[in-house]
Amino acid sequence: MANQGVYNGLFGLLILITMLLLSVPQQTLMLQLEMLFIIIVAVYGSLTASRKIIVIQGLPAIIALIALYLK
């Protein structure tokens, strides 16, 4: 559980830094890559640990990725 907290905290920090320090085109690309990584990790977690990980961790990233593409 501690590792998951560190993972989530660092990803939150990375997203925040991306939002604050990068210009819009770079920001959009970086956020898309971050969301794709989170989705991949959620799929892997749902296959190896618990199926609910895809919903809890992957669904918000999927929604964010869709929002980035619609932007």
Tell me, what's the pLDDT at 2? 58
Residue 48 has pLDDT above 60, yes or no: yes
Work out the end-to-end distance of the chain between its first and last CA atoms, rounded to an integer number of angstroms.
34
Per-domain boundaries in the chain: 2-70
pTM: 0.85
* 3 to 7, 8, 9, 19, 23: CA distances (angstroms): 6, 9, 10, 24, 31
Q: What is the pLDDT of residues 1-47, one digit of tens each?
A: 556 778 888 889 999 999 999 999 999 999 999 999 999 989 998 99
The C-alpha atoms of residue 50 and residue 5 are separated, in whole angstroms, by 16
Tell me, what's the pLDDT at 3? 67
Residue 49 φ/ψ, nearest 5 degrees: -120, -75
